[in-house]
Amino acid sequence: RKIYVLNGPNLNMLGAREPEVYGHQTLADIEAAMRKAAGGVEIEFHQSASEDVLIGLIHKAFGEKADVILNPAAFTHYSYALRDACAMLASVGSRLIEVHISNPHSRESFRHNSVISGVATGVIAGFGVDSYLLALSQLTRN
């Protein structure tokens, strides 16, 4: 099964963006680490600040019955459109793992709610860049 790794707004700025919260690794570092850990599994890696683009990629994953690792970034907290796209995935057997670098529950109250979690297979948050690798290891173990 192919895996889409999708990243929302501002994650292209990792490394420079609030390093005390998000660390020093860049999105390119995350992509490289995932490709290395993926073994033979095919990974499609994208980042966009556009709901339109992210929803289109979820539709592609749906069409291909691919699994998805999604860091929705700020869309986590308010994008019902992205949630509705994600809600389709289970019907084709695609798993969705929501990931966060930080632990949103230990931060501002507007980050405590995720509109995505309710349609995710599981959620991994708070382990820095390892959140992505933990999600990947779960998807590739079966």
Query: What is the maximal distance between C-alpha atoms in the chain?
Result: 40
Q: Can you tell me which of 25, 102, 121, 140 binds ligand DQA, judged by CB under 6 A?
A: 102
Selected range binding ligand DQA among 29-37, 47-55, 88-96, 100-108, rule: CB under 6 A: 100-108
Q: Tokens 């931060």 sit at which residue?
A: 107
Please, are residues 4 and 46 in contact by the beta-carbon 8 Å criterion?
Answer: yes
Tokens at 50, concatenated: 């556009």
**Candidate list 5, 6, 47, 71; residue touching ligand DQA; CB under 6 A:** 71
Distances (CA, A) of 101 to 21, 29, 92: 8, 13, 28
By CB under 6 A, what part of segment 8-47 binds ligand DQA? 10
String marking each residue 106-125 x if it binds ligand DQA according to CB under 6 A: -----x--------------
Among 104, 115, 133, 136, binds ligand DQA (CB under 6 A): 104
73 contributes a contact to ligand DQA by CB under 6 A = yes
- Could you say whether residue 76 binds ligand DQA (CB under 6 A)? yes
Task: Give the helix, strand, coil percentages of the chain, each rounded to 5.
Answer: 50, 15, 35
Least distance from C-beta 74 to ligand DQA, angstroms? 4
Least gap, CB of 18 to ligand DQA (angstroms):
9
CB atoms within 10 A of CB 80: 11
DSSP string across 59-105: HHHHHTT-EEEEE-GGGGGT-HHHHHHHHTGGGGT--EEEEESS-GG
Which residues in this chain contact ligand DQA in the complex, by CB under 6 A?
10, 71, 73-74, 76, 100-102, 104, 111
Binding site listing for substrate: 71, 77, 84, 101-102, 111
